[in-house]
Structures are given as structure tokens and as C-alpha cells.
Structure 1
């Protein structure tokens, strides 16, 4: 595609976006002048969550924390509870830290100031500076990568190549709208499987469509192998009140959860040894097996053998605690066991 074709391509995509762009709550307000706080929450939330599912989480979070000042003043436990179910909880912890920084220093006014906040990387800084200040910074995410790889019939686009192409195509007059348009095109028309080429405003310029096999671009990424983790967990109490411990680490750090102990399934007797060690640490007495639960987190599949136990530390109100989905699955075993013992 020649430089002379770029204005026509930009005009075609922006006209399509003006007609058919998604009506999303964080897009309210003048183009390039979105509410910074709402746009920021949405971008952080949608880093690992699809829009259809993220809408409910977005409204719940904004109801709990309607302003950056409210978020900054809230205890971290309340923030994690409002984030519950979204996963990747480091996002919530960083958002909370960044909100406290913003209340001291003010909302960012430049791309560099957005980039200086905890948890804000190159994509988020480019998105927020373009959406809220109409700054000329092109975004580079999965949708943009797919659209540009197909447009140029590039089977193996590197991050650097994608950024170069995105920078070259960025509309100088409407950078915020352009970024949203490319992402919307990838999310709704130029989808990973069965792209709707007949409805695409860029079909006349698309190298992948001309090849006759648009779905082949870009070539699938090599995914890392899923790591299997086996552990025992104990439920002391019931589904409403139970012994909970504070998690650490990047994945679930800050959340509460049932006490657990990993084990090596290749070692004979490892589950029993792990259960004994866990109960000794808690000063608890192990009880019967309640069942087994499995949950996949990132590239890790975690399976728990969940046992009842008695004794141990004081119980915590489960309803007020921020828990992972794995913990909710484990707690549900207690409810099912109670129903089997005392059927209605």
C-alpha cells in the first residue's frame, strides 16, 4: 500500500467506526476527551477480560469507587473484593497504588505521565493518552496485531513490526478515534476465526483477503505448555464462615483463600503427607474428603483435593472476603455435602 492510499484507507475505517463503533460506557464524552478515570478503569479491566464479560465488572467497580479519590481512600481488601472474578489481581493492586499517586500528583496530562503510573505499560499509556487527550500515540494489542497482519499479509508479525505499522497508519487528526476503530474492527469484523471480509471497510486494501485465506494470518502463536499443580486444601467451618489465609505471589497476591499445600503426585503418599503437614501448621484435625476441584489460571491448571477439618485459627466471614474462583469452587463442595447429608 502506497503512502498516497493511506488517506483513503483512514477515511474508510473512520467512516465505518462513526457508523458502527461499539457504544461502550467509558466512551461517553467528546472524542479525544474521555473521562480519564473511567477510561483508565476500563483499559486496565479489559487487558485480560473480554468486553462482553467485562461490562458487568466495570459497572460494579465504578459503583463501589465512582472517583479516583474514592478508589485511593479505600482499603485494599475492598478493592480486591470489587475486583473479584476478574482475575489477574495484580491489576487491581496496581490500580489502587496508582490512584493514590494520582490523588497526590493529579491526573496524567501526557503519555509519559500515564506511563509513570504503577501497572501502566506502553499499550495502556498510548490508549489513555489518545482517548483522553487525543495524543498521537498508536496502540498495539491483539486486535491491532491481527488487523495489521492481515492488511499486510504478514504471517509472523513481531511487536516491533506491529508498532511500526500502527504508527504509520495512525490518523493524525483523530488518533483516539482511530485507535478505537482498529480495535473495534478486530473485535467485531476481523475476528480470529471466520473473519467477515464482506463487511470490512478495509477489504479493498487487505492482502490476507486477496490471498484467499484470511484466517491464516497471522500464524498461530506457540502457546506455552499448561503447568499442572496438585494440592490439598482444608475447609474448616462452612461455606459461610471458614478459616482463610492471605495469599501472596503475583497471581493471587492479596486475596484470602482456603489453606492449601501443594504436593508432587509422582511421590507415593504425597497427598496424605501434604494434608498432615497442612493440618499440623494450622493446629487442626483432618476430616473426610469433600471432593476435588480444578481451575485453570493463566497457563496453570490447579487441582485441589478438598478435605474438611476441625480446630485451627478463627473463622472469617466468607461473604466479605475477596476470593479466587478456585476457592469459591472449593467452598461449593461444602454446600453440596450438606445437601446430601440433609436433603430437603
Structure 2
């Protein structure tokens, strides 16, 4: 079937669309903690912080983190002066942890040089891409920047009935967004488009009869809005597997820090094997097998942890520790599912375990002070459960 061709020109007067949308926004705008109220001065720090947090994360999930951050660090200078470990710990549970590392680096740059007042300068900051720079430029500095997030893509795909599937349609949608962005009130316009997509123009069962721009919408006119935007088929997420080792001693748990680069970079973890796509458990720097790689058998039986390659890196000390197999935990990342078999041990008889795993002993009643991502919290909870110990609050 031939794809329907679309011009990147709007089929209606952009001004009429803008006025209809802004009238609705003035009456129905969302009250969000980072938004300046009508007549208030916009704080670029709050706009920037919220936009970083909102990258690939819902408003509902972000609100408590934003409020906690701004209570603790009310200015960009305060955030810049914080330790990175404190910022990572405060971010724990929000996901996409490279954002937290970039947030801290960006705060230090902003505290030193101030906010750039144009898209190009904003885009040069750590963790700020094309969308985020446009959003900050429009909302914080009232510049006519075309702000296109997932909500805006959905609205535009329906207004123009774009038959090209996403992500191939992104370039066309950006052109259309630029055509519709007004010179006057571009920040309010950008937020109005976001609110429309988050509310009335929802992914399923959009409320077309209540939509302020229904008269301009090609998909609503044909009763076909829910079909848009079209999306290319997604590849299935693979499953990776690994082992996590929860080791406690005297009211403490053994933790170590992940490398800065890569998934969950800079966050804390319990010692664990590499995560692999099949059942092979590969060695890591902290868990080195003495005799090559080990495989779980086809029946999925547990390793003999005293002798198996998965933990042979602890050498003769493995025989001093009574390992227990805990509940397997699962976690879904953007591009793969993860299954972690969890093994737990009380290492009171082996105080050298921290050095063996290149880790540090952390007080169980102080876990909230450590940057433990959600998947690690799951592993810790499983291991403590197997040892009959309560899971201490982490946030």
C-alpha cells in the first residue's frame, strides 16, 4: 500500500491553531511544581531540573523527586556544591542514571558560567540534547523553539494524519512543529502542547469531542484518531541472566561501586556476575572463575557455590561461607529483561570478603544514604529475606 504523502505545510492558519490552543491552556493548564504561575517569574533552574528528570519518565514519577531535590538543593549553586554521591543517592529509583551524573556535572557548569540563553549554548551542556535545549529555551527564556516530545509527536501525527510510522516520521513532525510554534508565548505554547498530549489527546481513547484544536485535526475529522501515530514494529526484548551475591556481616552488607560508564554507571551494587544473554555466567573483575566459564544445566539447577566457577573468585574462603539460594529477581530495562539469581551468605566467619570483592561494608540501617538503583534494591531484599533479615528502608 502506498504511503500517503504529506506536505510539511500546515493546511490551516497557524495563528488560529495557536490561539485556540492557548485559550484552552489558560483555562485548563496543569498545576505542576516546576511551572511558574501566571504572572510569576520563570526560574530557569527549576525548568532545567524538571526537564532532565522528565526525560523518559512520567510526570507522576518525577514530582516527588523534584520536590525532594528542590527542598534539599533550592538553587543550581546548592546542587553544584553537593557531592556526586549524594546526588546519585537522591536520584536512586528514578532510573536512567547517566542523567544524574550529567545533572551534577551540568549544575557545576551552570553555577560557574550561568545559563546560556540560546538553544545552541544549552545543547552544549552535559545531558542536554535537542529536545531539552528547546524546552528550556522556550519555557525559561521565551524563545520560539520547537519543542517536540512524545506527547507533541502524538498530537501532530493526529492533526496532520501522518501515515509515516515513527520513528521515521520524526523529521517531518519536527518541521510541522517548527511551523506551528509562535513568536509570542512560545513557552506557554510548548507546555500547552504537552498538556494536550498528556491529557485529552491520550494514546488510547482520546477525548476528541473536548479537544480545543479538534477543528484543525484531520484524524479527529475522520474518527480515526486512535490509529495515530503509526509505529514501526519493535524488536522483542532479549533476556539477560546473571548472579547477585548478598553478603552480610554484623549488621552490614557488602556493596561496591559500578564503573562510571555504562548501564547504572556510578551507582552502588552488591557483587554480581556479568549479565549475559544466554545461561553462560561470565567472569567479572570482582568475580573471577579459576576454570573458564560455567553454565547452568538445562534443568536450571542452582550452582554449587562452594566449587562452581560463578563464585570461585573467592577461592578457599567459599568453603567458610554457608550460601543460600534466594528468590530470583526480575527487572526490565529499556532494551532487555534481566533475571538475577540471588545467593546470600552471612560472612561473620570471613571478614576478608570485602577485600576479595573490592567492596565496602555498608550499615543495613543506613542504606538510604547509598545510591542503590531499583534492581539492586530487589536483589538486596531477596538476599536479606533468605537470611531472615528485614529489608531496611532505602527511600
Under a length normalisation based on structure 1, what TM-score does the superposition of the two structures give?
0.92
Partners of 1:239 and 1:331 within 8 A in 2 = no
* Rounded Cα–Cα distance in structure 2 between residues aligned with 1:129 and 1:161: 21
**Corresponding residue number in structure 1 for 2:81:** 73
Q: Which residue of 2 is the match for residue 256 of structure 1? A: 268
Distance apart, 1:222 and its partner CA: 2.5
Q: How does 1:122-137 map to 2 (within 5 A)?
A: 122-137=130-145
Please say if 1:269 is aligned against 2:326: no
Paired residue for 1:321, among 370, 373, 386? Answer: 370
Inter-partner Cα distance in structure 2 for 1:81 and 1:282? 29
Shift of 1:230: 0.5
Deviation, 1:207, is 0.6
Aligned pairs for 1:105-120 within 5 A: 105-120=113-128
Offset of residue 110 of structure 1: 1.8
Q: Please give the alpha-carbon distance, in whole angstroms, between the structure 1 residues aligned to 2:264 and 2:126.
A: 18
User: Offset at 1:52?
Assistant: 1.4
Relative to structure 1, the CA distance from residue 212 to residue 274 in structure 2 (aligned partners, 3 Å threshold; closer, same or farther) is: farther
Q: 2: distance between equivalents of 1:45 and 1:11?
A: 30
Counterpart-to-counterpart distance in 2, 1:321 and 1:52: 24
Aligned partners of 2:106 and 2:126 also within 8 Å = yes
Q: What is the distance in 2 between the residues matched to 1:18 and 1:155? A: 32
> Counterparts of 1:170 and 1:253 in 2: how far apart (Å)?
37
Is residue 227 of structure 1 aligned with residue 238 of structure 2? Answer: yes
Per the alignment, do residues 131 and 19 of structure 1 end up closer, same or farther by CA in structure 2, a change over 3 Å counting? same
C-alpha distance in 1 between matches for 2:43 and 2:146: 19
Q: Give SS of 1:186's match.
A: helix
Shift of residue 159 of structure 1? Answer: 1.6
Q: Within 1, Cα distance between the matches of 2:134 and 2:10? A: 26
| Cα deviation 1:74-98 (Å, max 9, x = unaligned) | 1111000010110000001001111
Q: How many residue pairs get matched?
A: 341
Higher mean alpha-carbon deviation, 317-326 vs 162-171, is at: 317-326
Distance 1:54 1:269 in 2: 40
What is the Cα-based RMSD across aligned positions, in Å? Answer: 2.4
Q: Is the 8 A contact 2:258 2:265 kept in 1?
A: yes
Which moves more between the two structures, 13-22 or 110-119? 110-119
Matched, 1:84 2:106: no
Gapped regions of structure 2 (runs ≥ 5): 1-8, 281-293, 355-359, 391-395
- TM-score using structure 2 length: 0.80
Counterpart of 1:27 (choices 35, 48, 69) is 35
Structure having the higher helix fraction is 1
